[in-house]
């Protein structure tokens, strides 16, 4: 493989403060008990900043601020004015896009190419899209005068930090709710920069509150008696705990949880194009994607050429500095996640699957995992059943379309699925039968603010994006 | 000479998989002056198996076909109108229930257009969202006949199959409805009706890992409703919670009872030459 000269994006565009407080009622403030935690760059383990850890008293204060803003300002404001605030936010995000992209890559470890070309443009597009709904809610199909719910408690993961924030905050605000959002503990920085953007947009205080912290902070938030709505993106295990804790309450709950998507490749698919999609499906964002195509189902007749092409392509993937514009695969987000990926991969080997990774120089510092495939995987293997949330692909085979459907659906999850075939009728036949909220046919990992996203079965309930995404934030 | 004819009495049984078994537990109880089967945990599980087996055919039927079958149910209901009135229901309520069934029958081939649609994504992609049935739905039925009809019809019209826990003290109309369903071209297993004590059977239904959704509208005991919702979290069932105030079954039902058991599937495909 020929060498690329390093092409690093400049860090100079971001100004990371030494410490951050909680963003409550329009201003940054210290947590009641003064607790804090460090957020690091997973590509170097360098400490980026010290971030406040919100406790129950802080959550209380944030919910109270959100309630006051809801009662006194936001729920009374005409939709057209809410819209203008959201448009302002969308514009500022576009203007500060490079800054947000670099900060996201620093805190998360994802390649700058993805944060710059995928995450941040989608964030701006999401705010732009929902801004337009704010004064059109009577036309959304939920009755002539749909009402907001009140205060929304929102807890988001670390894989797409700012994009998940946008998916949560934009529809909530458009519908007239106020929010308290807890970013993931390993990736709080873009959410805190977003708080500054809210200030820059002159968003009324208390409409958006950002409370940083870990699991305990999130639990205090979703279990707070003063919230009317819970929106959570994260693991199925935590999602179930939230569903249990909300039982008997009036809190409306939407959950976007784990996945174990099948990517089904038929023998008539153009192999190189399909392999490109398979690689994108599992190695995009280091595989830290709930809808990742982590199970490749290949029709037996083309198994050999597909595998050869896949290995050839994987050998060309560039793993390394997230800020390098040539990088395909960045750093694993945290030591804990790396440990989980290693553990499940080791189990894959122990259970009898065959492991392969291309030769790959990994940096000495930071958290790294080479792109990996397992062949000879059966449906009983843990790597075929459990979400690894890393750059690890399990390859299985099938003979008939019916068998492909059976295997694809043989999971408690149902978030996404992929189909690769040249035959139109087969695409539609498969799409009808795959039990998943999103089906990508001859493509994968595509997202758009107008397109509803969310799962069947244990991948959660509710949809984000599109007209459907409003339902989660309206009293309907 | 005219002697009073000795009437042939009816045995009120369960309705599982299109058949009318007694409870496997052999138990019965007295309700509305009749012996009625007292369903057990095993009956719940048998009903789930029957409902699951019926999902493929029923959800795979065309919307037109499902609509016709539901309309056929309304025809059969109309034919047995007097039988329901004979159970002590008001004629007005029976008429309302029949009309409600007709209303839902018509939704089978309309809900997809109303609740789904094309999404104008920013790229060269075909992108379509359409609702699909969630699968097997557990329904705790309200005691009123109009309520009973109003929870079953919206669940099945979109292609789900259902397990209905009839209200403990008003099981006879539910069993009679089962007899209507059994003679209406509705495939066996699409609706399964269990009489007995929902306080006993609902926990098994709420915790069953092969049930996709549960309707708690008619659960009036808040503690029971909460524990059922907690059990439902085990496999993240879609839960329809009891409303704050008692539901008015004569009001316009809206779409909620259908959309509560629908999943939205979005399909992407590139456009190109």
pLDDT digits (tens, 9 = 90+) for B139-193: 999 999 999 999 999 999 999 999 999 999 999 999 999 999 999 999 999 999 9
Distance from first CA to last CA of chain B, Å, rounded? 89
pLDDT confidence band for B1 (50 / 70 / 90): low
Least Cα separation, residue A80 to chain B (angstroms): 22
Label residue B184 exposed, middle or buried (CB < 10 Å: 0-12, 13-18, 19+).
middle
Q: Tokens at residue A386, please? A: 């459990």
| Yes or no, beta carbons of A427 and B222 under 8 Å apart | no
Contact residues, chain B, for A133 at CB < 8 Å: none
**Any A CB within 8 A of B125 CB:** yes
**Any B CB within 8 A of A458 CB:** yes
**Any A CB within 8 A of B7 CB:** no
Least Cα separation, residue B203 to chain A (angstroms): 14
Asked if residues B191 and B161 have their Cβ atoms less than 8 Å apart, the reply is yes
pLDDT confidence band for A208 (50 / 70 / 90): very high
What mean pLDDT is reported for chain A?
97
Instruction: Work out the angle at residue A396's Cα, subtended by the Cα atoms of residues A392 and A397, and round it to the nearest 5 degrees.
Output: 150
Contact residues, chain B, for A257 at CB < 8 Å: 236
Q: Helix or strand or coil: residue B205?
A: helix
Distance CA B67, CA B73 (A): 10
- pLDDT score recorded for residue B3: 81
| Yes or no, beta carbons of B266 and A439 under 8 Å apart | yes
Q: Helix or strand or coil: residue B66?
A: helix
Label residue A135 exposed, middle or buried (CB < 10 Å: 0-12, 13-18, 19+).
middle
- pLDDT score recorded for residue B2: 65
pLDDT digits (tens, 9 = 90+) for A100-143: 999 999 999 999 999 999 999 999 999 999 999 999 999 999 99
Asked if residues A293 and A444 have their Cβ atoms less than 8 Å apart, the reply is yes
Helix axis angle, A236-245 to A215-222, nearest 10°: 30
Annotate chain A with three-state secondary structure.
CCCCCCCECCCCCCCCCCEECEEECCEEECCCCCCEEEEECCCCCCEEEEEECCCHHHHHHHHHHHHHHHHHHHCCCCHHHHHHHHHHHHHHHHHCHHHHHHHHHHHHCCCHHHHHHHHHHHHHHHHHHHHHHCCCHHHCCCCCCCCECCEEEEECCCCCHHHHHHHHHHHHHHHCCEEEEECCCCCCHHHHHHHHHHHHCCCCCCCEEECCCCHHHHHHHHCCCCCCEEEEECCHHHHHHHHHHCCCCCCEEEEECCCCCEEEECCCCCHHHHHHHHHHHHHHHHHCCCCCCCEEEEEHHHHHHHHHHHHHHHCCCCECCCCECCCCECCCCCHHHHHHHHHHHHHHHHCCCEEECCCCCCCCCCCCCCCEEEECCCCCCHHHHCCCCCCEEEEEEECCHHHHHHHHCCCCCCCEEEEECCCHHHHHHHHHHCCCCEEEECCCCCCCCCCCECCCHHHEECCECCCHHHHCCECC
| Yes or no, beta carbons of B268 and A257 under 8 Å apart | no
**Nearest beta carbon to residue A458 from set B123, B235, B269:** B235
Asked if residues A22 and A207 have their Cβ atoms less than 8 Å apart, the reply is no
Rounded to 5 degrees, φ, ψ at A265 are -115, 115
Rounded to 5 degrees, φ, ψ at A148 are -70, 170
pLDDT digits (tens, 9 = 90+) for A231-287: 999 999 999 999 999 999 999 999 999 999 999 999 999 999 999 999 999 999 999
pLDDT digits (tens, 9 = 90+) for A310-327: 999 999 999 999 999 999
Identify the CA nearest to A251 among candidates A155, A150, A165: A150
Q: Tokens at residue B210, please? A: 């092969």
ipTM surpasses cut 0.90: yes
Q: Domain locations in chain A? A: 19-257+456-471, 262-441
pLDDT confidence band for A3 (50 / 70 / 90): confident
Contact residues, chain B, for A443 at CB < 8 Å: 125, 268-270
- pLDDT score recorded for residue A175: 98
| Yes or no, beta carbons of B269 and A442 under 8 Å apart | yes
Least Cα separation, residue A197 to chain B (angstroms): 25
What's the topology of domain B28-251?
Aldehyde Dehydrogenase; Chain A, domain 1 (3.40.605)
Mutate to test the interface with B, among A247, A273, A419 (most CBs of B within 10 A): A247
Mutate to test the interface with B, among A117, A426, A446, A462 (most CBs of B within 10 A): A446
pTM above 0.90, yes or no: yes
| Yes or no, beta carbons of B119 and A466 under 8 Å apart | yes
| Yes or no, beta carbons of A243 and B129 under 8 Å apart | no
pLDDT confidence band for A75 (50 / 70 / 90): very high
pLDDT confidence band for A2 (50 / 70 / 90): low
| Yes or no, beta carbons of A450 and B232 under 8 Å apart | no
Distance CA A167, CA A170 (A): 6
pLDDT digits (tens, 9 = 90+) for A272-314: 999 999 999 999 999 999 999 999 999 999 999 999 999 999 9
| Yes or no, beta carbons of A457 and B125 under 8 Å apart | no
Q: Residues of chain A with pLDDT > 90: what percent?
A: 99
Give the residue numbers of A marked as catalytic: 256
CB-defined contacts A:B, below 8 A: 103
**Nearest beta carbon to residue A446 from set B120, B125, B212:** B125
Q: Helix or strand or coil: residue B171?
A: coil
Least Cα separation, residue A50 to chain B (angstroms): 36
Residue of A nearest to B263 (CA): A456
Least Cα separation, residue A37 to chain B (angstroms): 32
**Any A CB within 8 A of B40 CB:** no
Distance CA A362, CA B140 (A): 57
Residue of A nearest to B240 (CA): A252
- pLDDT score recorded for residue A426: 98
pLDDT digits (tens, 9 = 90+) for A392-406: 999 999 999 999 999
Contact residues, chain B, for A247 at CB < 8 Å: 226-227, 229-230, 232-233
pLDDT digits (tens, 9 = 90+) for B22-36: 999 999 999 999 999
- pLDDT score recorded for residue B273: 86
**Any B CB within 8 A of A452 CB:** yes
**Any A CB within 8 A of B127 CB:** yes
- In this structure, whether the domain defined by A19-257+456-471 belongs to CATH 3.40.605.10 is answered with yes
Q: Does residue A1 have a pLDDT over 70?
A: no
Q: Domain locations in chain B? A: 28-251
Identify the CA nearest to A186 among candidates A366, A362, A11, A413: A366
Identify the CA nearest to B264 among candidates A126, A475, A453: A453
Residue of B nearest to A121 (CA): B122
| Yes or no, beta carbons of B269 and A458 under 8 Å apart | no
| Yes or no, beta carbons of B266 and A461 under 8 Å apart | no
- In this structure, whether the domain defined by A262-441 belongs to CATH 3.60.21.10 is answered with no
pLDDT confidence band for A4 (50 / 70 / 90): confident
Distance CA A291, CA A148 (A): 29
- pLDDT score recorded for residue B43: 98
**Nearest beta carbon to residue B266 from set A241, A250, A438:** A438
**Any B CB within 8 A of A335 CB:** no
Q: What one-character DSSP code corresponds to residue B229?
A: H
Rounded to 5 degrees, φ, ψ at A47 are -75, 125
Least Cα separation, residue B262 to chain A (angstroms): 10
CA dihedral B236, A219, A260, A157 (to 10 degrees): 140
Q: Tokens at residue A17, please? A: 């403060």
């Amino acid at each position: 493989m020929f060498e690329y000269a390093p092409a690093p994006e400049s860090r100079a565009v971001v100004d990371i403060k030494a410490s951050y407080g909680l963003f409550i009622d329009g201003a940054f403030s210290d947590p009641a008990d003064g607790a804090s935690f460090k957020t690091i760059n997973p590509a170097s383990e360098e400490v980026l900043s010290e971030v406040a850890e919100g406790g129950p008293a802080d959550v209380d204060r944030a919910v109270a601020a959100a309630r006051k803003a809801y009662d006194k300002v936001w729920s009374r404001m005409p939709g057209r004015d809410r819209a203008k605030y959201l448009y302002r936010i969308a514009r500022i995000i576009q203007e500060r896009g490079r800054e947000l992209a670099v900060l996201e890559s620093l805190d998360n470890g994802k390649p700058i190419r993805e944060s710059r070309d995928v995450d941040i443009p989608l964030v701006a597009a999401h705010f732009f899209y929902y801004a337009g709904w704010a004064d059109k809610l009577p036309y959304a199909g939920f009755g002539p005068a749909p009402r907001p719910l009140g205060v929304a408690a929102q807890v988001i993961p670390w894989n797409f930090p700012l994009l998940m924030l946008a998916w949560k905050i934009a529809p909530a605000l458009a519908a007239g709710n106020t929010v308290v959002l807890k970013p993931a503990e390993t990736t709080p920085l873009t959410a805190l920069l977003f708080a500054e953007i809210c200030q820059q947009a002159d968003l009324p205080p208390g409409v958006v509150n950002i409370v940083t912290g870990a699991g305990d902070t999130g639990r205090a938030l979703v279990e707070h008696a003063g919230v009317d709505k819970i929106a959570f993106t994260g693991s199925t295990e935590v999602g179930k705990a939230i569903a249990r804790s909300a039982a008997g309450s009036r809190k409306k709950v939407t959950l976007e949880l784990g996945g174990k998507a099948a990517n089904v490749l038929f023998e008539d698919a153009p192999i190189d194009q399909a392999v490109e999609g398979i690689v994108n499906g599992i190695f995009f964002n280091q595989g830290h994607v709930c809808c990742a195509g982590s199970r490749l189902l290949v029709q037996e007749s083309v198994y050999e050429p597909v595998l050869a092409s896949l290995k050839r392509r994987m050998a060309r993937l560039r793993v390394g500095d997230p800020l390098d514009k040539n990088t395909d695969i960045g750093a694993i987000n945290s030591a804990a996640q790396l440990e989980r990926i290693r553990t499940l991969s080791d189990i894959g080997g122990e259970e009898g699957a065959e492991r392969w990774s291309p030769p790959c120089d990994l940096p000495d510092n930071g958290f790294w995992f080479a792109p990996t495939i397992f062949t000879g995987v059966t449906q009983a293997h843990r790597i075929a059943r459990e979400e690894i949330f890393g750059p690890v692909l399990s390859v299985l085979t099938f003979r008939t379309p019916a068998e492909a459907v059976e295997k694809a659906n043989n999971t408690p999850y149902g978030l996404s699925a992929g189909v690769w075939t040249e035959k139109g009728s087969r695409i539609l036949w498969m799409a009808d039968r795959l039990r998943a909220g999103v089906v990508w046919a001859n493509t994968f990992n595509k997202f758009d603010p107008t397109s509803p996203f969310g799962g069947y079965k244990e991948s959660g309930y509710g949809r984000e994006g599109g007209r459907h995404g409003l339902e989660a934030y309206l009293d309907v | 000479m005219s002697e009073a004819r000795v009437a042939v009495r009816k045995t009120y049984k369960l309705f599982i998989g299109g058949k009318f078994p007694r409870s496997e537990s052999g138990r019965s109880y007295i309700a509305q002056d009749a012996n009625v089967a007292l369903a057990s945990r095993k009956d719940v599980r048998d009903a789930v198996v029957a409902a699951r087996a019926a999902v493929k055919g029923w959800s795979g039927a065309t919307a037109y076909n499902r609509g016709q079958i539901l309309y056929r149910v309304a025809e059969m209901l109309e034919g047995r109108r007097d039988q329901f009135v004979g159970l002590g229901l008001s004629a007005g309520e029976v008429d309302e229930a029949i009309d409600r069934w007709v209303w839902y029958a018509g939704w089978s081939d309309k809900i997809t257009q109303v609740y789904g649609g094309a999404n104008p994504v920013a790229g060269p992609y075909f992108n379509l969202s359409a609702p699909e049935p969630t699968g097997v739905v557990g329904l705790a039925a309200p005691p009123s006949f109009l309520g009973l009809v109003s929870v079953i019809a919206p669940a099945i019209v979109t292609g789900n199959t259902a397990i209905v826990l009839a209200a403990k003290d008003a099981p006879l109309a539910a069993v009679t409805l089962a007899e209507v369903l059994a003679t209406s071209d509705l495939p066996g297993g699409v609706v399964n009706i269990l009489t007995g004590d929902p306080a006993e059977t609902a926990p098994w239904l709420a915790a069953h890992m092969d049930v996709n959704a549960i309707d708690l509208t008619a659960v009036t005991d808040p503690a029971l409703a909460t524990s059922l919702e907690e059990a439902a979290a085990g496999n993240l069932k879609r839960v329809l919670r009891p409303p704050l105030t008692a539901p008015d079954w004569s009001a316009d039902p809206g779409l909620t009872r259908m959309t509560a058991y629908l999943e939205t599937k979005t399909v992407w495909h590139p456009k190109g030459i």
